């Protein structure tokens, strides 16, 4: 196995609101409006409905519950999250195909049907956008509420039921993956597909839903790596010490075989802890190999 020293310099996350005017977005192609109750959107945690003629379709949903999440799977080349921005709005972790951006949805006055986040130029095909509520406030807000009013999808539509990974190599940006907590992207040609993600906060998770009888977690391991918990179909299976000296790329910290044929879920959870030799608690995800 090839060994390689990986740069450990990670840029600070920027806190921003991506305000994008709808007419400019529409220039990229056809736009489909998906309301907050569309079957392509899944919610976890406690969300509250709010009816108003100011919302798209007359209704929106909101929450300030830490860990609550809204996830939309879609095909298309772009997507815009439409919500409410006001003096009580807070921060959210937004993932698009495994890439994290922290969004501050605050504004000094109430603004309805606001574009809170937008991305364009995606490859045609399935993608996943997740919005995770952190119950955190920016420097000016009086609350931590996050609103979902609608989504605008460019050149595509929602995918009810989401995406399940099939047999083969699954990279860290595959739409079958769901991230919670803060996972940071790191690029290096030594990684599978040239990119990986890593987390150090206790409770940060990545889950993959797959069809197969086995799966292997592909990772980078080094002198700053820590402990990770492994769950299969919701059951805690083991805790893995990912520390390794000297470092190695594309190694397999965990593999499971002999599962019943069909859909399963594997979850990796960072614990925020490490052994006495390690200098840190990072947990890395490079890819998965799914077996028939």
The residue that leads in pLDDT, 150 or 18, is 150
Quickly list DSSP for the chain: ----PPP---PPPPEE-----HHHHHTTS-EEEEETT-TTEEEES--EEEE-TTSGGGEEEEE--TT-EEEEEEESSEEEEEEEE-TTB-EEEEEETTEEEEEE---SS-EEEEEEEEE--PPSSEEEEEEEE-----SS-S--BEEE-EEEEES-EE-TT---B-SEEEETT-TTEEEES--EEEE-TTSGGGEEEEE-STT-EEEEEEESSEEEEEEEE-TTB-EEEEEETTEEEEEEE---SS-EEEEEEEEE--PPSSEEEEEEEE-S---TT-S--BEEE-EEEEE-
Output the pLDDT for position 28.
55
The residue that leads in pLDDT, 19 or 272, is 272
Output the pLDDT for position 287.
98
Give the phi and the psi of residue 159 in degrees, each rounded to 5. Answer: -120, 95
Output the pLDDT for position 279.
97
**pLDDT per position as a tens digit, 101-137:** 999 999 999 999 999 999 999 999 999 999 999 999 8
Average pLDDT across the chain, whole number = 91
Output the pLDDT for position 4.
42
pLDDT band at 142 (very low <50, low <70, confident <90, very high): confident
What is the average pLDDT across 3-10?
A: 42
**pLDDT per position as a tens digit, 178-198:** 999 999 999 999 999 999 999
What domains are defined for the chain?
Answer: 15-158 (2.60.120.260), 168-291 (2.60.120.260)
**pLDDT per position as a tens digit, 16-41:** 333 333 333 444 579 999 999 999 99
**pLDDT per position as a tens digit, 31-74:** 999 999 999 999 999 999 999 999 999 999 999 999 999 999 99
The residues that bridge with 158 in the sheet, in sequence order, are: 74
């Amino acid at each position: 196995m090839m060994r390689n020293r990986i740069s450990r310099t990670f840029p600070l996350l920027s806190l921003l609101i991506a305000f994008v005017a709808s007419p400019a977005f529409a220039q990229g192609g056809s736009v489909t409006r998906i309301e907050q109750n569309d079957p392509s959107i899944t919610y976890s945690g406690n969300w509250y409905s709010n009816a108003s003629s100011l919302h798209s379709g007359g209704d929106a949903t909101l929450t300030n519950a830490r860990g609550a999440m809204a996830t939309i799977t879609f095909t298309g080349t772009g997507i815009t999250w439409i919500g409410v921005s006001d003096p009580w709005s807070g921060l959210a972790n937004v993932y698009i195909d495994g890439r994290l951006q922290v969004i501050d949805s605050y504004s000094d006055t109430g603004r309805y049907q606001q574009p809170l986040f937008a991305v364009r130029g995606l490859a045609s095909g399935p993608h996943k956008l997740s919005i995770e509520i952190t119950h955190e406030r920016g420097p000016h807000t009086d609350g931590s509420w996050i609103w979902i009013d609608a989504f605008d999808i460019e050149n595509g539509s929602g995918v009810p039921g989401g995406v399940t990974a099939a047999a083969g190599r699954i990279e860290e940006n595959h739409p079958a993956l769901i991230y919670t907590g803060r996972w940071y992207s790191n690029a290096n040609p030594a990684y599978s597909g040239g990119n990986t993600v890593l987390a150090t906060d206790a409770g940060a998770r990545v889950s993959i839903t797959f069809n197969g009888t086995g799966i292997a977690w592909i990772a980078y391991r080094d002198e700053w790596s820590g402990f990770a918990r492994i769950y299969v179909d919701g059951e805690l299976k083991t805790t893995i010490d990912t520390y390794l000296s000297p470092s190695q790329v594309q190694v397999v910290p965990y593999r499971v075989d002999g599962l019943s044929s069909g859909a399963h879920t594997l979850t990796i959870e960072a614990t925020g802890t490490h052994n006495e030799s390690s200098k840190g608690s990072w947990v890395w995800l490079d890819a998965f190999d799914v077996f028939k």
